[in-house]
DNA sequence: TACCCGACTTGTTCTTAGCACA
DNA sequence: TGTGCTAAGAACAAGTCGGGTA
């Protein structure tokens, strides 16, 4: 199936930049349709991608307009209301029209408005004095950083570790809970008892020393505490592209001015006149100082962190100690939205205990808020898995403290995910047959659904929920694809260059999650191609490609095909099955371990390509590459020398020389493998798929079968997260098959 | 049905720990 | 024995999905 992916990896994300690109023009089909997938990453230069942003705004305006221009557009879809679930036939006329009468529906971008919430009213509560002794770990960080204040952690009784020994065995901290050997708990209930210490708050702001000056219009200025803190946020972004972006700067200025004193506000009106360089420099110095600390100082910090982790990083859930994932509350800072995020630059406010909701067991002690403070709320909701939550100030979204992936609660869910994907494996043939049949259904709605599903299955696209235009960057997934995101190459044209069967080629070019560009030309079935032609008829570039489809309808349909089936299951299924197939295909049992690992990584890479997991191709990567190259050269030389020596060696010397030669030869081989691996990995990120899409049992089984130590492919965290899979697979006699 | 939102997963980027090497 | 550099992990942004409400 992977022969169809002609990815053209492009790194739209650069270093977190707003990768908005120009999707029109310059995209003539300049490469053969069958071009090798992984090479050549330049179709469009970075800067080309950078311009244009405006377009989006326009899009919105346009579509509002079209709205009235399109006479069809049923009022709202009220009349569909009682078409209860199931895609039964109880649908009103407008959906049953035959192709001829079909007119595209124009979906409106969502509006939210009611949601400006916190933003405006954000001034109150500037009570930054939350630095209470006795509760705050880190009461203060002397800028000189000399005597690291002993973290006065709340619990005096934390036992002091004998400074020399390193505990750190997973088991020391948490229980090994082999939940997969236990009976499953009934639905809905996530736990029976839950105890924890609440979140760890961000350390209080430490003012800049008087020697560090912020300047406005060239003139030194001592800022009020809060204004200064925000200034440090901006200073931190000085080296970054964000500091050159209009939206970022405007948003920052807007929020910054809110925390200024009236005097400051009066004076500081132009960001361009602000000079943060001294602050930036100071921050860099501080970092250097930290780096330059002695071993002892570093060790001390480490121990302090471990102590914090032991208190705040652990929850007891149904009698088992489990790691918490993110027990530290996000410190205040500036919001760094990705892509052309409209809210980038706004300030994330400091979270106080008064903002935090605690969730814990009824019969366990309630975590104590820091002295002088109280929680926003304490609840005992065992139908959810989070321990603490609060509302983040920029987007107004909920944030949670949850358990670590190694926990039962997460692990069990993960396990279920893969089991669902395996059930899909059993049904996939029938499902494919069904949607292929549906390509030619008389209902537009059904044809769109089938076509979308085809892409989701074949290309592993995401679902593509609707997004609020002014709360997020303009990115899309399958259901939200617009006409402008695809191109149809008409068969005649292709036939000249490539007379083969590749008649029906579709090009995708859009920004997906995290504004990562998805670019792919792919040959599709004739029916699909024809359908697409119909779907885009009489539409504007900014209109929805699948105007009769949305994620909830699609998922509802999928559920009718298989229990628990949703769009994302296809991604999981296709990723895992691809890994299994590729491993089968690529592994040579006679290979060395290093060569086998290369095969593994190649299989993994196929998946990453399928899922479009990219990574920024960095200068550092190129440098590393050069270094490797050099090493190989050096090694070659050594081999040559050893070879010479071997020739001249006699007697006992000879054997020694032979050994040396062999060893060097082996090392050289390893280096070459490393080079290949690295090179092939240039713009592909393997981590995401390994962590989220590949059934770990496939990997464990492969290691077992081929005598590859698991730790060569799974890091410590992987092994913790996938303990269930390791245990299940290794303790079974038969080979795991996904 | 539209819309909103809570909860949870997936994803990239930033930061650090720890390793290979001078 | 320190230095520079990755790879691993932390941080946190951005998705998915399903349920409630008007």
Which residue is the nearest neighbor of B7, CA to C1'? A384
Any catalytic annotation for residue A600? no
Q: Which residues pair with A519 in a beta bridge?
A: A509
Tokens describing residue A416: 């279920």
Q: Which residues pair with A508 in a beta bridge?
A: A486, A520
pLDDT of the residue at A19: 27
Q: Within a 13 Å sphere around the CA of A722, how many CA atoms are in the beta-carbon half?
A: 26
Q: Which nucleotide is nearest to A516 (CA to C1')?
A: B12
Neighbours of A286 (CB within 10 A): 14
Distance A672 CA to B7 C1' (A): 47
CA gap A416, A410 in Å, rounded: 10
CA-nearest of A287, A395, A392, A396 to A341 is A395
CA gap A571, A420 in Å, rounded: 12
Which residue is the nearest neighbor of C11, CA to C1'? A330
CA gap A34, A22 in Å, rounded: 24
Tokens describing residue A588: 């040579």
pLDDT of the residue at A565: 96
Helix/strand/coil (H/E/C) assignment for every residue in A627-664:
HHHHHHHHHHHHHHHHHHHHHHCCHHHHHHHHHHHHHH
Q: What is the largest CA-CA distance in chain A?
A: 96
CA-nearest of A449, A451, A457 to A429 is A457
Q: How far is CA A319 from CA A196, A257, A427, A486, A617, in A?
A: 12, 49, 39, 54, 46
Neighbours of A115 (CB within 10 A): 13
CA gap A140, A484 in Å, rounded: 54
Distance A323 CA to B17 C1' (A): 20
CA-nearest of A517, A476, A590, A374 to A109 is A476
Distance A8 CA to C3 C1' (A): 38
Distance A605 CA to B13 C1' (A): 20
Distance A728 CA to C4 C1' (A): 41
Helix/strand/coil (H/E/C) assignment for every residue in A532-590:
HHHHHCCCCCCCECCCCCCHHHHHHHHHHHCCCCCHHHHHHHHHHHHHHHHHHHHCCCC
Domains of chain A listed by start with CATH number: 2-77+93-111+414-573 (3.90.15.10), 164-395 (2.170.11.10), 590-730 (1.10.132.10)
Which residue is the nearest neighbor of C12, CA to C1'? A330
CA gap A704, A722 in Å, rounded: 15
CA-nearest of A47, A45, A35, A48 to A8 is A35
Contacts of strand C, CB cut-off 7 Å? Answer: A 326, 328, 330-331, 333, 335-339, 341, 348, 392, 395, 462-465, 467, 472-473, 475, 477, 512-515, 551-552, 555, 559, 564, 566-569, 620, 623-624, 627, 678, 715-718
| Per annotation, catalytic residue among A130, A242, A504, A693 | A693
CA gap A72, A78 in Å, rounded: 15
Distance A659 CA to B16 C1' (A): 39
CB A338 within 8 A of CB A512: no
Q: Nucleotides on strand C with an atom closer than 7 A to protein CB?
A: 5-19
Q: Which nucleotide is nearest to A75 (CA to C1')?
A: B1
Distance A700 CA to C15 C1' (A): 29
Q: Which nucleotide is nearest to A555 (CA to C1')?
A: C17
Q: Which nucleotide is nearest to A621 (CA to C1')?
A: C6
In sequence order, what DSSP letters do the residues of A661-700 get, joined into one string?
HHHHHHHHHHHHHHHHHHHHTTTB--HHHHHHTS-HHHHH
Tokens describing residue A379: 């609840």
Distance A288 CA to C2 C1' (A): 15
Q: What is the pLDDT of residues A131-161, one digit of tens each?
A: 332 222 332 333 333 333 333 333 333 333 3
Q: Nucleotides on strand B with an atom closer than 7 A to protein CB?
A: 1-17, 21
CA quadruple A260, A263, A266, A267: dihedral, nearest 10: -90
Q: Which residues pair with A517 in a beta bridge?
A: A511
Give the residues of chain A that fall short of pLDDT 70. 1-173, 491-502, 616-631, 673-674, 676-681
pLDDT of the residue at A621: 53
Q: Which nucleotide is nearest to A336 (CA to C1')?
A: C13
- Residue A403 DSSP SS3: strand
| φ, ψ at A347 (rounded to 5°) | -95, 130
Q: How far is CA A28 from CA A25, A48, A483, A573, in A?
A: 7, 15, 17, 34
pLDDT of the residue at A660: 79
Distance A465 CA to B3 C1' (A): 13
Q: What is the pLDDT of residues A44-59, one digit of tens each?
A: 322 232 223 333 333 4
Q: Which nucleotide is nearest to A332 (CA to C1')?
A: C12
CA gap A412, A179 in Å, rounded: 8
CA-nearest of A558, A552, A548, A523 to A453 is A558
pLDDT of the residue at A164: 34
- Residue A273 DSSP SS3: helix
CA quadruple A531, A536, A538, A539: dihedral, nearest 10: 150
Which residue is the nearest neighbor of C10, CA to C1'? A326
Q: Which nucleotide is nearest to A691 (CA to C1')?
A: B10
Tokens describing residue A152: 């006065």
CA gap A347, A327 in Å, rounded: 21
CA gap A610, A579 in Å, rounded: 11
CA-nearest of A186, A176, A451 to A323 is A176
- pLDDT-above-70 percentage for chain A: 71
CA gap A509, A487 in Å, rounded: 8
CB A178 within 8 A of CB A727: yes
Tokens describing residue A506: 């579709």
pLDDT of the residue at A59: 40
């Amino acid at each position: 199936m992977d022969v169809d992916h002609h990815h053209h990896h492009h790194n739209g994300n650069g270093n977190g930049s707003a990768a908005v690109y120009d999707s029109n023009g310059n995209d003539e089909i300049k490469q053969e349709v069958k071009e090798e997938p992984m090479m050549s990453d330049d179709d469009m230069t970075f800067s080309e991608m950078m311009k244009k942003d405006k377009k989006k705004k326009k899009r919105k305006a346009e579509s509002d307009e079209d709205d009235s221009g399109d006479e069809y557009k049923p009022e709202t879809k009220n009349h569909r209301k009682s078409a209860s679930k199931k895609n039964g036939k109880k649908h009103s006329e407008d959906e049953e029209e035959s192709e001829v009468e079909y007119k595209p529906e124009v979906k409106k971008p969502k509006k939210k408005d009611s949601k400006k919430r916190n933003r405006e009213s954000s001034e109150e509560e500037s009570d930054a004095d939350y630095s209470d002794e006795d509760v705050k770990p880190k009461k203060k960080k002397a800028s000189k950083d000399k005597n690291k204040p002993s973290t006065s952690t709340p619990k005096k009784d934390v036992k002091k570790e004998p400074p020399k020994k390193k505990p750190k065995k997973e088991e020391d901290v948490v229980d090994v809970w082999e939940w997969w050997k236990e009976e499953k708990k009934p639905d809905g209930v996530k736990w029976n008892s839950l105890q924890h210490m609440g979140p760890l708050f961000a350390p209080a702001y430490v003012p800049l020393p008087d020697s560090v000056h912020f300047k406005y219009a060239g003139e030194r200025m001592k800022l009020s505490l809060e204004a200064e803190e925000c200034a440090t946020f901006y200073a931190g972004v000085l080296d970054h592209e964000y500091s050159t972006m209009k939206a970022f700067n405007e948003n920052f200025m807007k929020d910054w001015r809110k925390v200024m004193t009236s005097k400051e506000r009066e004076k500081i009106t132009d960001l361009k006149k602000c000079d943060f360089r001294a602050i930036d420099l100071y921050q860099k110095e501080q970092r250097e100082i930290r780096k330059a600390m002695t071993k002892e100082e570093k060790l001390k910090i480490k121990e302090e962190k471990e102590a914090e982790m032991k208190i705040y990083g652990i929850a007891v859930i149904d009698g088992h100690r489990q790691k918490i994932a993110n027990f530290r509350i996000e410190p205040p800072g500036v919001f760094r939205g990705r892509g052309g995020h409209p809210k980038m630059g706004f300030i994330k406010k400091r979270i106080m205990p008064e903002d935090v909701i605690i969730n814990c067991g009824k019969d366990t002690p309630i975590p104590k808020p820091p002295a002088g403070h109280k929680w926003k709320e304490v609840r005992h909701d065992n139908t959810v898995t989070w321990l603490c939550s609060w509302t983040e100030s920029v987007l107004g979204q909920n944030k949670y403290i949850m358990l670590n992936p190694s926990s039962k609660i997460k692990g069990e869910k993960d396990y279920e995910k893969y089991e669902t994907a395996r059930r899909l494996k059993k049904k996939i043939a029938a499902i494919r047959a069904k949607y292929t049949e549906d390509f030619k259904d008389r209902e537009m709605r059904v044809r769109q659904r089938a076509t979308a599903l085809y892409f989701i299955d074949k290309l592993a696209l995401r679902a593509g929920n609707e997004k609020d235009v002014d709360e997020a960057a303009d990115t899309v997934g399958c259901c939200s694809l617009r006409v402008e995101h695809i191109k149809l190459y008409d068969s005649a044209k292709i036939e000249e260059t490539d007379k083969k069967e590749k008649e029906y080629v579709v090009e995708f070019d859009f920004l997906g999650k995290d504004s990562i560009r998805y670019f792919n030309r792919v040959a599709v079935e004739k029916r699909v191609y024809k359908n697409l032609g119909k779907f885009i008829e009489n539409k504007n570039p900014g209109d929805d490609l699948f105007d009769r489809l949305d994620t909830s309808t699609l998922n509802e349909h999928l559920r009718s095909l298989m229990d628990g089936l949703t769009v994302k299951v296809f991604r999981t299924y296709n990723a895992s099955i691809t890994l299994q197939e590729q491993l089968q295909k690529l592994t040579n049992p006679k290979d060395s371990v290093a060569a086998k690992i290369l095969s593994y990584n190649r299989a993994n890479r196929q998946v990453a390509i399928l899922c479009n997991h990219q990574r920024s191709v960095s200068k550092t990567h190129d440098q590393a590459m050069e270094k490797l190259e050099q090493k190989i050269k050096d090694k070659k030389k050594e081999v040559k020398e050893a070879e010479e020596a071997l020739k001249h060696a006699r007697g006992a010397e000879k054997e020694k020389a032979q050994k040396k030669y062999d060893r060097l030869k082996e090392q050289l081989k390893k280096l070459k493998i490393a080079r290949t691996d690295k090179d092939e990995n240039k713009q592909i990120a393997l981590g995401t798929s390994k962590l989220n899409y590949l059934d770990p049992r496939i990997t464990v089984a492969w290691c077992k079968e081929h005598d590859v130590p698991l730790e060569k492919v799974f890091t410590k965290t992987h092994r913790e997260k996938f303990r269930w899979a390791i245990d299940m697979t290794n303790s079974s006699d038969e080979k795991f098959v996904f």
